[in-house]
Amino acid sequence: MLWAITCVDNVGTAALREKNLAPHLAYLEHRKPILVLGGATLSDDGVAATGSNFILNVASRGEAKAFSDDDPFTKAGIFASVSITRMRKRQWNPEAATGT
């Protein structure tokens, strides 16, 4: 089943985010078998990261929470909030994301 994880950064964590980016990306690569989609959320001008969104394919909320809890960004205290929501795949159009 699919789970959406929405993370919102604490204010003033840009340097902390940059410091933990390599471990975070390595973690995501390691979790690739369950990671459907992931990426930073950005300010309207596309310059500053404001959080992260992930879509996971795991069996339970507990597994989705474990994914989030083990993320180096979470461990570093970057996120002010994390929400985990079960979702249904109704539409799937990865071609629409091309070039963005």
The predicted structure's pLDDT at residue 94: 83
**Range 2-85 has CATH code 3.40.30.10:** no
Query: How far is residue 31's CA from residue 25's CA, in Å, rounded to a whole number?
Result: 10
The predicted structure's pLDDT at residue 96: 84
The predicted structure's pLDDT at residue 97: 82
For the chain, what are the domain ranges? 2-85
Residue 93 pLDDT class (50, 70, 90 cuts): confident
Comparison of pLDDT for 13 and 92, the residue scoring more: 13
CB 58 within 8 A of CB 67: yes
Tell me the CA end-to-end span of the chain in Å, nearest whole number.
26
Check: pTM over 0.85? Answer yes or no.
Answer: yes
The predicted structure's pLDDT at residue 98: 81
The predicted structure's pLDDT at residue 100: 58
